Structure 1
Amino acid sequence: MADYKIQFCENNFSFGTDKIIEMLENEIDNNIEIKVVSCLGFCDDCSTSPFALINGEIVQADTPEELFEEIKSYIL
């Protein structure tokens, strides 16, 4: 069982979050479960910046690269 469940909204891919999934799979991939769903229900956040849910907690940043760093800080 994974220690961290990271969820991405496919509607947020326009902010580059799809690239973050690749980066996580290539660089971290241990103790994480990555799931893409059609809608996470955070439409206000989704329409303004890249974000992910980690164990139910929203994590946001201004760019996909910054979000990747935020996720790394959260799980490492």
Structure 2
Amino acid sequence: MRPMVEFCINRLTPDVEEIKEELELDPEVDVLENSCLGNCEVCAQIPYAMVNGDIVTGETAEKLSENIRQAIKDYQKEMEDLFDLL
């Protein structure tokens, strides 16, 4: 399964849009843009995305990008570990 990264259109500032577009080029990641992710309190305060249903934030777009990539790596490791058990 590929990791899924979701963005709220209300928080798609130009720098967050750039992150979304970069991730869309990665064939190993599914990217969605939603009208609302239901995390308005977080959305109003800090750049964020959802990675496989978990909120990922960053004080800056650069930090958000780093944190999203780390969450993707963590997910991929979990999937590898799971498949190793099978």
Q: Deviation above 2 Å: which 4+ runs of structure 1?
A: none
- In structure 2, distance between residues paired with 1:68 and 1:3: 17
Of Structure 1 and Structure 2, which has the larger fraction of its residues in strand? 1
Query: Of the two structures, which has the highest relative contact order with CA contacts closer than 8 Å and spacing of 6 or more?
Result: 1
Give unpaired runs (5+ residues) of structure 2. Answer: 74-86
Q: Percent identity?
A: 36
Give unpaired runs (5+ residues) of structure 1. Answer: none
Tell me the matched-pair count: 73
Task: Please state how far the C-alpha of 1:68 moved relative to its aligned partner.
Answer: 0.5
Structure (1 or 2) with the larger CA radius of gyration: 2
Of Structure 1 and Structure 2, which has the larger fraction of its residues in helix? 2
CA RMSD of aligned residues (A): 1.5
Taking structure 2 as the reference length, what is the TM-score of the superposition?
A: 0.76
Taking structure 1 as the reference length, what is the TM-score of the superposition?
A: 0.85
